[in-house]
Amino acid sequence: MPVLVMKFGGTSVANLDRIRRAAKRVGVEVAKGYDVIVIVSAMSGKTNELVGWVNETSPMYDAREYDAVVSSGENVTAGLMALTLQEMDIPARSWQGWQVPLKTNSAHSSARIEEIPNDNINAKFAEGMKVAVVAGFQGVSPEGRITTLGRGGSDTTAVAFAAAFDAERCDIYTDVDGIYTTDPRVAPKARKLDKIAFEEMLELASLGAKVLQTRSVELAMRYNVKLRVLSSFEEPSDTAGTLVCAEEDIMESNVVNGIAYSREEAKMTLISVADRPGIAAKIFGPLSEAGINVDMIIQNIAEEGRTDMTFSCPTEQVKRAEKALNEAKERGDINFHDLVADTNVCKISAVGIGMRSQSGVAAKMFKTLSDEGINIKVIATSEIKISVLIDRKYMELAVQALHDAFELDKAA
Ligand code: ADP
Ligand code: ASP
Ligand code: MG
């Protein structure tokens, strides 16, 4: 039997009614002759609640226990989905990550998938089971501890299963009807795309577009998984949603094809650091060891042998970054006058593979922001993206202005 992977996000399994609606959708695919692997998220809001409980109990928590707690939301929805399918006379059972087993490394709270053996589930399909419901977001480490794949990780579970079972397609059911030129909740003029290239989606995801977890796009690209994002609230059709596909499969596309934003960005500045060879290594070495995801970096021009060094990192990592740098200072490895964290910033990015061959995108982006009176604090560019750090209060305005300036409401 051909295999189909169907993933239902938090809002799609938010209550028993929604689980029933999702199960009906699964029933339709079973009736077409598919063996279906359903990946479920926790009910919406549940994971946030669990994370909150962990933080309240232990601010510098043991990540193994964090994973034990936050993975539990998916166990509930997996069991409920299997029960719902059974009530519809569809042979189904649930699997927690460790039962599959979905094997990961030991990087708790952001573990990477290493292997998904398919024999257990295939044996059940051979016995007549039609649906394997798998708890998303979780796995098991070589030490036998429960791991999680990072926020939004059920997308990655879904794509990894599609690759491991050579599925015909991986359908990601969510609360929007596809991938848009930007978050439709921030810019009402956002336009739904029929197709988007892996590379563009990868950039958008890593720059903050939560519609797919970055790692899921990476895996889909590597294993050539046919990945589709569609709404769990609308009647499905063969052309519904957005297909994430190879660049060659897209005929026309705008120079800039999407705008992403990330609210959870912080700007940290080391004031008055000695400007001498090796200093960057001494600053960023300890940050990397502490697991800080440094994104943008600026080093100011030195004056009298001292300079300021600014970098950005996720807001939730600010405390850890401060600790790592202050410890390096105490050891005498680095010397700075002050460390200032600005958590009232956000990152706005323009993404498009057309940027490889067209110039002028940066100039247009800066002009647009300046016309709105928005000050740019940090800039970073790569082959297909330009990112800026600005005050968070201008986030919506900047996204909308850039969407207008690049005419993203119009198709290429
Ligand atoms: P789920 O719980 O189903 O995984 P998520 O909340 O993780 O859903 O992802 C869907 C959300 O992603 C949408 O509700 C939307 O607000 C947001 N989003 C951000 N950028 C985009 C985009 N470019 N296109 C569509 N949705 C986007
Ligand atoms: N429930 C997890 C989260 O909220 C995983 C997911 O939904 O993809 O991050
Ligand atoms: Mg998600």
Residue of 13, 173, 210 with the most ligand 1 atoms within 8 Å of its CB, for mutation: 210
Lookup: tokens for 250: 């897209």
Question: Could you write out the DSSP letters of every residue in 92-159?
Answer: EEEE-GGGTT-EE-S-TTS--EEE---HHHHHHHHTT--EEEEETTEEE-TTS-EEE--TTTHHHHHH
Q: Which residues fall in the annotated binding site?
A: 7-10, 47, 74, 174-175, 180, 185, 210-211
Give the per-residue pLDDT at 118.
Answer: 96
Ligand 1 center–CA 7 separation, angstroms: 14
Question: Could you write out the DSSP letters of every residue in 150-202?
Answer: -TTTHHHHHHHHHHHTT-SEEEEEESSSS-BSS-TTT-TT--B-SEEEHHHHH
Burial environment of residue 21 by CB neighbours within 10 A (0 to 12, 13 to 18, 19 or more): middle
Ligand 1 center–CA 264 separation, angstroms: 15
Q: What is the CATH number of domain 3-175?
A: 3.40.1160.10
Cβ atoms within 10 Å of 188's Cβ, excluding its own: 9
- Whose tokens are 């929007």? That residue is 176
Q: Which residues fall in the annotated binding site for ATP?
A: 7-10, 174-175, 180, 185, 210-211
DSSP one-letter code for 25: H
Say how far apart CA 46 and CA 70 lie, in whole Å: 9
The packing angle between helices 72-87 and 46-57, to 10°, is 150
pLDDT tens for the chain, residues 1 to 412: 899 999 999 999 999 999 999 999 999 999 999 999 999 999 999 999 999 999 999 988 899 999 999 999 999 999 999 999 999 999 999 999 999 999 999 999 999 999 999 999 999 999 999 999 999 999 999 999 999 999 999 999 999 999 999 999 999 999 999 999 999 999 999 999 999 999 999 999 999 999 999 999 999 999 999 999 999 998 877 778 999 999 888 887 889 999 999 998 999 999 999 888 888 999 999 999 998 999 999 988 888 889 999 999 999 899 999 999 999 999 999 999 999 999 999 999 999 999 998 889 999 999 999 999 999 999 999 999 999 999 999 999 999 999 999 999 998 7
Ligand 2 center–CA 97 separation, angstroms: 14
Give the per-residue pLDDT at 253.
Answer: 80
Say how far apart CA 410 and CA 15 lie, in whole Å: 37
Ligand 3 center–CA 376 separation, angstroms: 29
The protein residue with its alpha carbon nearest to ligand 2, atom 6, reads: 152
Q: Find out whether the beta carbon of 156 lies less than 6 Å from any atom of ligand 1.
A: no
- Whose tokens are 């039997």? That residue is 1
Find how far residue 306's CA is from the centre of its chain: 38
Give the per-residue pLDDT at 56.
Answer: 96
Among 3.30.70.250, 3.20.20.80, 3.30.2130.10, 3.40.50.20, name the CATH number for the domain at 259-405.
3.30.2130.10
- Domain range list for the chain: 3-175, 259-405
Lookup: tokens for 235: 């009647």
Contact 196, 251 (CB under 8 A): no
Ligand 2 binding pocket (C-beta < 6 A) is 9-10, 41-42, 47, 73, 136-137, 151-155
Give the per-residue pLDDT at 250.
Answer: 87
Say how far apart CA 163 and CA 155 lie, in whole Å: 13
Q: Which residues fall in the annotated binding site for substrate?
A: 47, 74
Of 326, 316, 320, nearest in space to 270 by CA:
326
Give the ligand whose atoms come closest to the C-alpha of residue 40: 2
Say how far apart CA 192 and CA 203 lie, in whole Å: 17
Lookup: tokens for 173: 């059911």
Give the per-residue pLDDT at 277.
Answer: 86
